[in-house]
């Protein structure tokens, strides 16, 4: 039995709907590949099953590569270790209390290294709402003191 265009369309829509149940954002590309094969079959209905499967595979892999290499190149990057010495001296507002053995959070007016809010540590207790100055960087935390 030779699959017709609507078989591929149903498969494509089914895979795209299945993506709603699987939060990996991966199945959608196979669904879009199946929809592409449905469109190709509408234009050239005499395509063999092997050519249909090859078109589906190549289209799906091409869309996956485009997504992960071009449109989402920095998806696996973290902010840890990206802070540089330009942050030292910046002044921000403490949004969560900080104490010597309890982390707090500081918010900056403009994003620093891609984030407005950073986890922070301090040598003295500081209440939220106070202005703090970045004294240094310890790992992925900012060391702050009263401004």
Residue 95: Cβ-neighbour burial (10 angstroms; 0-12, 13-18, 19+): middle
Query: CA triplet 72, 73, 79: central angle to 5 degrees?
Result: 105
pTM: 0.52
Going residue by residue through the chain (147 aa), what tens digit of pLDDT does each one get? 789 999 999 999 999 999 988 877 789 999 999 999 999 999 999 999 999 999 999 999 999 988 888 776 655 555 444 545 578 888 999 999 999 989 999 999 888 777 889 999 999 999 999 999 999 888 888 999 998
Could you tell me the residue ranges of all domains in the chain?
5-71, 85-146
Q: Does the domain spanning 85-146 belong to CATH 2.40.50.140?
A: yes
């Amino acid at each position: 039995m030779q699959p017709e265009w609507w078989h591929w369309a149903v498969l494509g829509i089914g895979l795209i709907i299945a993506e709603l149940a699987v939060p990996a954002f991966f199945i959608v590309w196979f669904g879009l590949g199946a929809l592409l094969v449905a469109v190709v079959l509408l234009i050239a209905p005499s395509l063999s099953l092997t050519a249909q499967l090859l078109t589906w595979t190549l289209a799906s892999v091409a869309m996956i590569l485009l997504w992960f290499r071009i449109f989402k190149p920095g998806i696996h990057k973290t902010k840890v270790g990206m802070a540089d010495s330009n942050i030292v001296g910046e002044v921000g507002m403490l949004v969560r209390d900080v104490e010597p053995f309890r982390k707090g959070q500081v918010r900056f007016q403009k994003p620093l290294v891609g984030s407005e809010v950073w986890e922070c540590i301090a040598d003295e207790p500081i209440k939220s709402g106070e202005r703090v100055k970045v004294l240094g960087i310890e790992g992925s935390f900012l060391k702050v003191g009263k401004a």
